[in-house]
Amino acid sequence: MADKQALAEERTDWAEDRTILANERTFAGWMRTGLACVAVALGLKAVFGDFQPDWLPRLVANLFCVIGIAIFWMARRNACRTTRRMDEHDTESQSTLGMTLTAAAMALGAAATGAILWWL
């Protein structure tokens, strides 16, 4: 009976490890989605380059940059929350600091892109 208990605990540990890995994949997916918003902003600026009034395409492009920044921070918040609740067994999860730095770098890049788009 103790052997069955040990096997059950081991399966539970592996399930928790899989959840940790899934959390990291989800975080990466949301980072890609945020970057896609920045790419849409760049595309809008390219498509509507000579549009009048000139502030309108800039505003819409910057809106997508802001949406990207929001996605980065929401992904970071959710991933860090999940990581803190999980116990590692056979895997080593990305640190919450690493996720925070990744989201901060992406947000800074999106903000810089928005600023450049506004002044082009």
User: Which 3-state string (H, E, C) describes 15-69?
Assistant: HHHHHHHHHHHHHHHHHHHHHHHHHHHHHHHHHCCCCCCCHHHHHHHHHHHHHHH
CA 38 to CA 35: how far, in whole Å?
5
pLDDT value for 19 = 82
Residue 49 CA neighbour count, 13 Å, CB half: 4
Identify the domain containing residue 50 by its residue range. Answer: 2-119
pLDDT value for 46 = 84
- Name the strand (E) or helix (H) holding 87: none
pLDDT value for 26 = 96
Regions of the chain where pLDDT drops below 70: 1-2, 6-8, 10-11, 89
Model confidence pLDDT, tens digit, residues 80-91: 999 888 777 677
- Domain count for the chain, please give it: 1
pLDDT value for 67 = 98
Rounded to two decimals, what is the model's pTM? 0.85
pLDDT value for 92 = 77
Q: How many CB atoms lie within 10 A of CB 16?
A: 16
pLDDT value for 57 = 86
Identify residue 106 by its one-letter amino acid code: M
